Chain A
Amino acid sequence: MVSAFLETTVLTDYLLKKDGSERAAANVLSDFNSTIVPQFAWKEFKRGPLSNFKWAHNKLAETGSFAQTLSALQRLSRTPQRYLTSTAIQALHSAFVSSFDGVSLQDLQDRYGSKATMDNLLADALRLEIKRAMFASWRKRKTLFGGPHHRLKCYPDADLHEVKLRVEINPRDCPADTECCLKEELSTKKKELSHARAALRGSASRPEITNRLRVLRQIEKHPQSKMGPLECRRFGDAYFVIFCPADAVIITTNVRDIEPMATRLGINVKTP
């Protein structure tokens, strides 16, 4: 029986996307007898995509404006090539306005004031859509594909909560002073660690790989040293290779980082 071992990128597509990626993810999973979602993927999901969705929700709530939220995102972005041009933003506005065809917006604005302006309506509509995506996806962690696999003893799983208009998702990580529960298991996986390190050496010029190599080396050569939340985060993609169950296939869109390690360990990788 072959299982799909779900990595964070595909879990994210499956839960948050509405552009067809979620269907592609569902399709690839339907090829397998079962799907395994490790709690580590849920942890990364909360710390990464869900955390950024939380930011967008809170910014939309604070500004009440789609345009201002995008402007803030563009200032904060570390991926500037992806930001939307003013033409694209205008096109989104127009698409939203067209859903009001046949409705007298002027009448609504006369009676309801700023609540009926398109920027405010679009901001609220997007905020609600984002909030829905956040709460619906995070709720699924308990039941999706039979619930989380390989639970992490040091990870404080917690529901999302609201404080006035804001959504809060803390805790995102294990407590700062925690020794990672994976460390003990990793000490019995010296061969896997060694293969993963060897595979990563070829692309060590990227900072994330350098950091990952350092953590793998530390675990392998200095098992007594501390593995805290930061090291656990840097360990990242190596988790999915080193802890992939026998006869399972890793499902990821992050082929560049996962595949070299997986190939060394004889694990198959599939992308939606």
Chain B
Amino acid sequence: MTVIDLAKYMRAREIASRPQATAPIWIGDHTSQSKDRDEHVIGTDWGAVPDEGGTLSARVLQKLDRNAQLSKFFELAANATSHINECIDLLEQQDNLAADDQFMAGKQIFAELLMFRDISDSVGLVLLRCFQAASQVRAVTDVPTLPRTILRVLNRISTAPFMNFEEACSLADEIEHAAGRLSMPGYNELSEQLIAESETEIA
């Protein structure tokens, strides 16, 4: 059973048992309140229209299957959020060393969160950017807007792990904007060769 199948199954159970679930999470694009049904996406099946229905509760999901990948992802994301929140508080108190320590602790969790990249490509991309940003930072005071950006992005991806990939691209851009240029080893080399090949082809 895939994560998406599991999520659908549990959503159906949740709707049947408790329509007014707390902590709602849409299985699909968070813009699902839009009237345009074509905007809705489930997982990576772009353009698919999700079933009619309500919402999925993260709490219920964790209760039903504590070992599920999605459930572990939420738990780790909440842990990362907690460290970043603490980092922001400490920065406000100008306790820079303690703030940086909290940020470093966040990096450890981002590395582990990367193991959940196959939940969806949106999750994968956003977590990759969080990890890259955390790896690149030498001192958190160098990038004062980054913790808040990461916090906002983490909250968003935790609320809508199956969001439209294009929205995930925007979130990734926000992180890069706050952190500065983030380099991905191999990207320049690979893209140079792919572009050179295409120039040969165009010719």
Q: Is A195 an interface residue (CB 8 A)?
A: no
Q: Is A73 an interface residue (CB 8 A)?
A: yes
Which residues 148-207 of A sit at the B interface, judged by CB distance below 8 A? Answer: 161-162, 164-165, 206-207
In the bound complex, CA of A254 to CA of B199 (Å): 10
The interface residues of chain A, by DSSP majority, are classed as helix
Give every chain A residue within 8 A of B191 (Cβ-Cβ): 16-19, 53, 130, 133
* Cβ–Cβ contact A52 & B192, under 8 A: no
Minimal Cβ-Cβ distance residue in A for B191: A16
Give every chain B residue within 8 A of A100 (Cβ-Cβ): 111, 135
Q: How far is the CB of A60 from chain B (nearest CB, A)?
A: 9
Give every chain B residue within 8 A of A139 (Cβ-Cβ): 166, 169
Minimal Cβ-Cβ distance residue in A for B126: A128
* Cβ–Cβ contact A47 & B202, under 8 A: yes
Minimal Cβ-Cβ distance residue in A for B127: A128
In the bound complex, CA of A124 to CA of B117 (Å): 8
Q: How many residues from A make CB contacts under 8 Å with B?
A: 64
Q: Is B65 an interface residue (CB 8 A)?
A: no
* Cβ–Cβ contact B195 & A52, under 8 A: yes
Q: Is B196 an interface residue (CB 8 A)?
A: yes
Q: How many residues from B make CB contacts under 8 Å with A?
A: 49
Q: Scoring A residues 219 to 238 as 1 if CB is less than 8 Å from chain B, else 0, what string do you get?
A: 00000000000000100100
Q: Is B44 an interface residue (CB 8 A)?
A: yes
In the bound complex, CA of A161 to CA of B132 (Å): 27
* Cβ–Cβ contact B183 & A125, under 8 A: no
Q: Is B21 an interface residue (CB 8 A)?
A: no
In the bound complex, CA of A128 to CA of B193 (Å): 18
A52 with B194, Cβ < 8 A, contacts A88-B189, A236-B202 known:
yes
Q: Scoring B residues 140 to 160 as 1 if CB is less than 8 Å from chain A, else 0, what string do you get?
A: 000000000000000000000
* Cβ–Cβ contact B199 & A9, under 8 A: yes
Q: How far is the CB of A252 from chain B (nearest CB, A)?
A: 12
Q: Is A26 an interface residue (CB 8 A)?
A: no
One of A30-38, A76-84, A242-250, A260-268 contacting the partner = A76-84
A208 with B203, Cβ < 8 A, contacts A12-B195, A79-B196, A82-B192 known:
yes
* Cβ–Cβ contact A136 & B193, under 8 A: no
Q: Is A135 an interface residue (CB 8 A)?
A: yes
- Between B108, B131, B203, the greatest number of chain A beta carbons within 10 A of the residue's beta carbon is seen for B203
Give every chain B residue within 8 A of A56 (Cβ-Cβ): 190, 194
* Cβ–Cβ contact A161 & B194, under 8 A: no
* Cβ–Cβ contact B112 & A129, under 8 A: no
* Cβ–Cβ contact A48 & B115, under 8 A: no
In the bound complex, CA of A44 to CA of B190 (Å): 20
Q: Which residues of A does B touch, CB under 8 Å?
A: 8-9, 12, 16-19, 44, 47-49, 51-53, 55-56, 66, 70, 73, 77-79, 82-84, 88, 92-93, 95-96, 99-103, 108, 111-112, 115-116, 121-122, 124-126, 128-133, 135-136, 139, 161-162, 164-165, 206-208, 233, 236, 254
Kindly list the 7 A-B residue pairs having the minimum CB-CB distance in the complex, ordered from nearest. A48-B198, A208-B203, A95-B185, A52-B194, A99-B135, A103-B111, A112-B115
Besides the known contacts A17-B191, A52-B194, 6 further A-B residue pairs in the complex with CB atoms under 8 A apart: A48-B201, A82-B196, A92-B185, A103-B108, A135-B165, A206-B203
Q: Which residues of B does A touch, CB under 8 Å?
A: 44-47, 104, 107-108, 111-112, 114-115, 117-118, 121, 124-125, 128, 131-132, 135-136, 165-166, 168-169, 172-173, 181, 183-203
